[in-house]
Amino acid sequence: MDRRDWSIQEIARLAGTTSRTLRHYDDIGLLAPSRIAHNGYRHYDEQALVRLQRILLLRELGLGLPQVREVLEKERGEASALETHLALLREEQSRLARQIASVESTINALKGGETLMAENMFDGFDHTQYKDEVEERWGRKAYADSDRWWRGMTDAERTAWQQRVSDLGRDWITAAESGIDPASADAQDVARRHVEWLTDVPGTPAAAPGGDAKAYVIGLGEMYVADPRFGANYATSAGGTHGAEFVRDALRIYAEANL
């Protein structure tokens, strides 16, 4: 009896991804189809499905495609690799459960007129998760300055800051989905606000005296497209990296004209 395989359309539907993404994975040598049918359609067997599951798990954990490739090349045994993924997912599950409990506790306290317990309000929230990456990109001082600034905020200031970030993300998505040109006045106004937001974060090249703000802003725009962790903040209904590409283009235009 022949082993079953699935068409690219079936796999895309089951995995919650797109045929375009699967074709891209094939093009870059990350996930080859098991066979190509006479009609040119890609098909995937069980072994390919296991590899795709590993790819998607690593992507969920925030790894870019080059890092995913590196992990897959180092890990030869599918079962042991999945056990590692499972352990990481359980850690994430635990963190999310703590966040949920923290938020539920705050809601109950607010509804019941009780005193908020500050030490319990931020369980599961980790603003230091990008510490190594920030230090690698911009140096230890950049992280230390921004960390000191964040810790020195009051709860109200953190809430206002997070609202500012949320508003920027919403306005970027609205602009991208409206079909306007990244060079338009409306898009450039959002770009201006974005750069002002970056400038307000101590330790960044945009805030540091003599820092190369232009290169920094342009580089961040490129990173929004290349790194799905950040690109997800600008995801539009068009899917893919459309929203992040719009942000990148608008920021580049603004930086080249104003920084």
3 state SS for 112-151: HCCCCCHHHHCCCCCCCCCHHHHHHHHCHHHHHHHHHHHH
CB distance 177 to 165 below 8 Å: no
3-state secondary structure of 18: coil
Mean pLDDT score of the chain: 75
36's enclosing H/E stretch is strand 35-36
The percent of residues in the chain predicted with pLDDT above 90, rounded, is 17
State the pLDDT at residue 241. Answer: 81
β-sheet bridge partners, residue 44: 6
Distance, in Å, from the CA atom of 209 to the CA atom of 199, rounded to the nearest integer, reads 11
The predicted model gives 183-201 an average pLDDT of 89
β-sheet bridge partners, residue 6: 44
Is pLDDT of 38 > 80? Answer: yes
Range with the largest mean pLDDT of 12-16, 71-75, 127-131: 12-16
State the pLDDT at residue 203. Answer: 62
Is pLDDT of 15 > 70? Answer: yes
State the pLDDT at residue 23. Answer: 92
177 or 62, greater pLDDT: 177
Question: Which two tokens mark 242?
Answer: 């459309």
State the pLDDT at residue 73. Answer: 78
State the pLDDT at residue 115. Answer: 53
CATH dotted code for 6-74: 1.10.1660.10
**Burial class, 182, CB count within 10 angstroms (exposed 0-12 / middle 13-18 / buried 19+):** buried
3-state secondary structure of 14: helix
- List the chain domain ranges: 6-74, 129-258
**Rounded (5°) CA angle 6-12-14:** 75
